[in-house]
Amino acid sequence: MTAHLRDLVSADAEAMYLALLAGGDMSLSELADRLDLDEGAADGLVADLERVGLVLVRGGVLSAQSPRSAVEAWALTRKAEEARAWQGAEALAQLYSAGAGSGVDWVEVVRGKVAGRRAFANLQSCAVSEVRAFDRGPYLTDIGETIADGQSEALERAVAYRVIYDSEVLQSPARLAVARDSIALGEEARVFPGLPMKLFLADGDRGLIALPHASRGTMDSLIIRPSVLLDALSQLFEAFWRMAVPLSTDAPADTGDELAARSEDLRDVLVRLSIGLTDDAIARELGISERTVHRRVRRLQELLGAQTRFQLGIQATRRGWL
């Protein structure tokens, strides 16, 4: 069993879980004493175990949970990742052929960031109905901290924007601010971890993929015209869109539910959890300690009857808190 747990949590968190299994229910301070840890460190490990459903915290008492659900969830995640990898294999193979100079006329290689920015701006300026994008680093602009050239104008022309943000880029306060500004202008946004590429699709008949070269510190781009590859990229975007979580940057609406009577502090944490921020990023943005973040997450889990953060997101969405 422990070999599988190492895929889910750190060795220290695993030791804590095994201590709970051996010693039964106990408080955080009791568990910290048993493991010779300070309460701050123990609290962080408990948060890790809660995140994967191995520990339930209720009324200040920690209880070890069956590992079956956590391991099964891990296995399903691995299976989904494998499926996504195979789904992208055909598209990547065609990208390789294009980059190797196959001479096809449905793809054009654009060299350098400057030319890539021009191509991207042109894609947005020519869009008529919709732009879809995977938003992940690195960025065609130098800092990636402003709304992309042409997006504001396209939104004013009633061009629909559907964007999936890689959760990692939203750890940056600057990129999070850009996402909020874009949503305020009318963009529909979702979040997903580990997007496979930086992708832009316009009106279903043009696409652009950014190709970073980390070793050289440069970036080329591929302009994709109508083809089997463009169709595959469109399908790939829609598959990720169905799996992604809606990005909410405002406090939940007052629905008359129990959260309406709760403090703004809980709302602030819930909103930031929903957009994929880590506990450390939430703590920095709100100016509080990680331990305080852990306590507020636990309170939200108690309010919603959720044993894991994944369940918390599902229950919050179902009850209209997000």
Look up the CATH architecture of domain 1-65: Orthogonal Bundle (1.10)
What integer pLDDT is reported at residue 140 of this predicted model? 58
Q: 86-246: same fold as 1-65?
A: no
What integer pLDDT is reported at residue 98 of this predicted model? 52
Would you give the DSSP letter of residue 205? T
List of long-range contacts for 145-150, beta carbons under 8 Å, 24+ apart: 145/172, 145/174, 145/175, 145/177, 145/178, 146/178, 147/178, 147/181, 147/182, 147/185, 148/120, 148/121, 148/124, 149/117, 149/120, 149/121, 149/124, 150/120, 150/121, 150/124, 150/125
Cα 148 to Cα 170: distance, rounded to the nearest angstrom: 16
Side-chain-side CA neighbours of 29 within 13 Å: the count stands at 1
Cα 310 to Cα 231: distance, rounded to the nearest angstrom: 32
Residue-range domain boundaries for the chain: 1-65, 86-246, 248-322
Cα 286 to Cα 268: distance, rounded to the nearest angstrom: 8
What integer pLDDT is reported at residue 9 of this predicted model? 75
What does pTM read for this prediction?
Answer: 0.55
- Are the beta carbons of 213 and 98 closer than 8 angstroms? no
- Are the beta carbons of 132 and 162 closer than 8 angstroms? yes
Q: Which of 54, 65, 44, 41 is nearest to 5 (CA)?
A: 54
Q: What is the pLDDT along the chain (322 residues), one digit of tens a residue?
A: 444 565 677 888 888 888 888 888 899 888 888 888 888 888 888 888 888 788 888 888 888 887 776 666 666 666 666 566 555 655 555 555 555 454 557 888 888 878 888 888 888 888 889 999 999 877 755 545 567 767 878 888 889 999 999 888 887 888 888 888 888 888 999 888 788 888 999 998 899 988 877 666 678 888 898 888 889 999 999 988 887 777 765 544 443 344 444 567 787 888 888 777 888 888 888 889 988 898 888 888 877 767 777 767 766 766 666 6
What integer pLDDT is reported at residue 306 of this predicted model? 72
Provide the token pair at 128: 């008529």
Per CATH, which fold does 86-246 belong to? Answer: Endonuclease; Chain A (3.30.870)
CATH of the domain spanning 248-322 = 1.10.10.10
Q: Which amino acid does the sequence have at 20?
A: L
